[in-house]
Structure 1
């Protein structure tokens, strides 16, 4: 089971896209878990849940470098959800891009 965790300020709108991503994963029988959290709880979630990928909502894009530094010791990919895909709440596109992010991360 791959854990894909989304982070934004309050995890409100991000929880909607997380749900849509999970629905796409379930539809295709992918072994994934997609959840949304507040960025304020990043370290706690990393320690307790051991996610395989961290995504930031577009509204906290400015925190990307800081988040990469905070996540570095866990050796997992960190990305930002495309603002157009986010605005359209396109769970399928976000999930496809996330899977590519994880595959490409392992190659590097």
Structure 2
């Protein structure tokens, strides 16, 4: 599963991405080889959309969701917006859980 993390510049989201990777690595149930992560600035989303299974949106660009969803919808890509508390704590476990739930819900449709 390719999880794309998207924010204003891609820098702080890279820290969250590393914590998500760490969560997968330390998990007894998840397999590292099943996951691929990338952190990008929102401007790069059109180039990455075809290589995305779920999008994780940083809270600092949540206001841009109306421009993000038209990029995702033709490809059927689910997304989740990380809340400020989870993002501020760089809580990779919660962010990963949110991404997996969004992906699962989309597959149930």
Q: How far apart, CA to CA, are the structure 2 residues paired with 1:46 and 1:73?
A: 10
**Contact 2:7-2:61 at 8 Å conserved across structures:** yes
Q: How far apart, CA to CA, are the structure 2 residues paired with 1:77 and 1:4?
A: 10
Q: How far apart, CA to CA, are the structure 2 residues paired with 1:32 and 1:26?
A: 10
**Contact 1:7-1:14 at 8 Å conserved across structures:** yes
Alignment of 1:1-108 (within 5 A): 2-28=1-27, 29-30=30-31, 31-47=34-50, 50-108=51-109
Q: How far apart, CA to CA, are the structure 2 residues paired with 1:23 and 1:35?
A: 14
TM norm structure 1: 0.90
The runs of 5 or more residues in structure 2 that have no matched partner are none
**Contact 1:64-1:79 at 8 Å conserved across structures:** no
Q: How far apart, CA to CA, are the structure 2 residues paired with 1:67 and 1:79?
A: 11
Where do 4+ consecutive residues of structure 1 move more than 3 Å? none
1:65 to partner: Cα distance: 2.1
Q: Secondary structure at the match of 1:37?
A: strand
Q: Secondary structure at the match of 1:71?
A: helix
Q: How far apart, CA to CA, are the structure 2 residues paired with 1:107 and 1:59?
A: 29
